[in-house]
Each structure stands twice: as C-alpha cells, then as structure tokens.
Structure 1
C-alpha cells in the first residue's frame, strides 16, 4: 500500500506545483530573466497561461510511478534495515536508518525520472512567441509594401513523446540521460533530508498520548520537509537543468564539472542558488498535499483492514 499511497500523493503534488516548476526551470536556464516576477510576466505575455503548463502531460503520466517507487523503496528499505539490525521490520528505526533509506529512494528514482526530466526541461524552455496583436495599427502606413514574410517554423518539440523521440534520434540514449550525474547528486542527499526531516517533525508534532500527528501536524511536517529537501538540492538542480536544456542548438557544457565551473565563472557563485526562493515557496504547498494524501490513503487502508 505504500506504493499506491505514494502514487496518489505524487499526482496531487504535481497538480499543485507544476506552474512554479516551469518558472523555476526558466530562471535557472535563461539568464535574461531578472527575477521571479519578470519570468512570470514574460511567460504570460508570450504564451499566456498555457506557457506555464508546457510538458505537463508526461510528468502527470509518470509521476504516479515515480512517486510510488520513491515511497515504496523508502518503506521497504527501512523495513529490511530494521529486520537486519533489530530483528523486526516494525522496530523503531534510528536516524541513520531513515537517512540511508531516504538516500536509496533518491538513487532509485533517478533511473525513472531522467528521461522525463529531459523532456520536461526541453519543453519548458522552448518558447513560442505570440503573434503581434492587430488591434494597435501603426501611426503611419509603410512607404512601400513590405516583402512577403517567410513562414515561421513551428516549435522543435511538438509534445513530450515527440521530444523524447527527437532527443533519442539526435543525441542517442545518452541524450535521454543527460544530466543524470547531477540528478543523482541532487536526489540522493535531498531525499535523505526529506524523509529524515519529515519523520523528526512528525515526532515533535505528535500530541502526547498519540502514536501519530493529526492532519495539521502532517501538513506542517510535509511542507517543512519539502522546503529543507529543496534547500539542499537547489545547487545540483541548477546544474541538472542546464545540462538537460543544453542540446537545443550549440552545446555549451562538456559535462557536470565543466557546467559548474562555467556557470560560476560567468555568473558568480550565486548562480548555484538560482530558483532557491521559488523552490522553497513551491515545495511547501506541494509536499503538504503529497504527505496528506499519502497518510490519508494509508490510514484509510488500515481502517478498512481492521
């Protein structure tokens, strides 16, 4: 049931946080944006609301599987560690046990998420210009007729599946796993932080005489856990986004280390924390929803089985 509960929680989370994720990726990969509101306004001006949901269909289709694997791997690793160390899978785990299980959960999900992350980032950073409005005519007619304009080519990627097929054809299998080294470094320690902080906060927020927190406790613990996880994940998230976006035109980065050195040299150390505020603002409501849905499903199943 941990796999089912994780899947439901993941879908709820992506529905809440995707527009801010699009803004985050644009800020991290495109230097032209001066800040969050500049990116929001520019995206809305050029593409309207639809621009914030580019590449959504693939994450929605895959997030249930990825979230299911994340939560299921965490619970099963924790049970096996407790059985090995304490003789029972239901024994209370130590902080080290929780950290190791969370780290394993982060590593496993990389193999599933890397291709979808590549498609998501490519679609999010693929800008489509709006046609100029006809409601504001020019002040004076042109002195001579303008030459016929050439037809503007459409976007390179027509959707998530077309994007994956194009990347695989042009860049090979390695293209689908571009940035996976940064993704490994991002998800390993961030998921260790995620599950450890959630467990510790739940313990602190559990009322005296109860075995688990109420709904408000889960909301607060889930939101704070998400913020802490993204706080430690943002530097590698920036590098991951840049490596995955690199491939639309001339390539700039030869690998993870070259991307880090080039980004810091050109934009300073602060570039590694681009999108940190947005990540934290997005993480709180998203992970509130994820953990509330996750815990609600588990509690419902337990009540039905007793």
Structure 2
C-alpha cells in the first residue's frame, strides 16, 4: 500500500479563461502583461540566434557544390540552432517566469532589473540558467523536426510559385 500523499491545495485557476478573468479582475490590465518586458528581451535575442545559427550551420554543413545541406545536415543544424537559442534565452526566461509568478499585493520584485539582481544575489549567477539542460534536451529533437518541415514547406512553395 502506498503512503498517503499530502493534500494539494486547490488550483487557483480552473482554466485559461478563468485565469484571464481572475488576473484582469485582481490585477487589472497591467497584470495581464506581467513579465512581457523580459519576454521581449528573451525572444529578440533568441530568435536572432536561432535563425542566424541555423543559416550559418546549413551553409557549413552543405556538401561542396550544393547550396543546401541534405536532410541530415538540416536535422543537425536545426537541433543545434534550437539549443543555441535556448542557451541565449534561458536567463530572461527565468526572470520572465519569476515576474509572472510574483503574487499580487505584497510583490517580491519591483521590476525586471530588481528581479535579476535579487535572484543573482540570493542564489548566485547559476540561477539564470535554471532549466537550461532540460530546455536543450527538448530543443534539439523539436527543432530538428521544425527545420525539416520548414525546408519542406519552402521547397513546396518555391515549386508552386515558379
């Protein structure tokens, strides 16, 4: 027989629409955008890294005399691009998540910079890379498939347009 697990508290939200309505009611419109500055900083740099590294790796992995890599090259370039993008994105992703989870009323963080400084002071610089290994383990296979599909759609649309 398994030992009894401690009772879990009731979830605060019953679903996405209830979450939206509750946050809007309790925190106002501003609450719906909590963490968005960190999100913008995360995505700008990570998408630039994502597509630039994919293009460079594709060029590097293309066989001599070919402008595009074979499927294996696309798989490797896509996987590596996903990992590199998450390596760049993870620090701001950690900050974004902390800002979004910061409760209403007695808030712990005053903003993005305060959250970053407080987190590093209390937990050390490694805190900014929490979840990186898991993100990379997920990113490699996912982005292998994403870029194979991307290249297939590009080839298909080029064929339709010419």
TM-score range, shorter chain: 0.7 to 0.9
Q: Which runs of 4+ in 1 moved over 3 A?
A: 135-138
- Using the TM superposition, give the Cα deviation of residue 269 of structure 1 relative to its aligned residue in structure 2, in angstroms: 1.4
Query: 1: distance between equivalents of 2:53 and 2:157?
Result: 25
Match of 2:58 among 192, 202, 208: 202
Match of 2:127 among 261, 271, 276: 271
Q: Are 2:87 and 1:214 equivalent residues in the alignment?
A: no
Query: 1: distance between equivalents of 2:9 and 2:130?
Result: 32
Q: Are 2:90 and 1:224 equivalent residues in the alignment?
A: no
**1:78-113 C-alpha deviation (Å, 9 max, x unpaired):** xxxxxxxxxxxxxxxxxxxxxxxxxxxxxxxxxxxx
- Using the TM superposition, give the Cα deviation of residue 302 of structure 1 relative to its aligned residue in structure 2, in angstroms: 2.4
CA contact (8 A) 2:43 2:89 kept: yes
CA-atom RMSD, angstroms?
Answer: 2.1
Match of 2:15 among 159, 179, 203: 159
CA contact (8 A) 2:27 2:104 kept: no
1:294 corresponding residue in structure 2: 150
1:243 corresponding residue in structure 2: 99
SS at match of 1:185: helix
2:117 corresponding residue in structure 1: 261
CA contact (8 A) 2:94 2:128 kept: yes
SS at match of 2:20: helix
SS at match of 1:210: coil
- TM-score, reference length from structure 1: 0.48
Query: 1: distance between equivalents of 2:152 and 2:34?
Result: 36
Query: 1: distance between equivalents of 2:3 and 2:124?
Result: 44
Structure 2 unaligned regions, length at least 5 = none
Query: 2: distance between equivalents of 1:137 and 1:222?
Result: 45
**1:268-290 C-alpha deviation (Å, 9 max, x unpaired):** 11111111111211111111111
CA change 1:200–1:137 in 2 (3 A) is closer
- Using the TM superposition, give the Cα deviation of residue 303 of structure 1 relative to its aligned residue in structure 2, in angstroms: 2.8
Query: 1: distance between equivalents of 2:75 and 2:9?
Result: 47
- Using the TM superposition, give the Cα deviation of residue 209 of structure 1 relative to its aligned residue in structure 2, in angstroms: 2.3
CA contact (8 A) 2:81 2:143 kept: yes
Structure 1 unaligned regions, length at least 5 = 1-134, 139-151
- Using the TM superposition, give the Cα deviation of residue 235 of structure 1 relative to its aligned residue in structure 2, in angstroms: 1.0
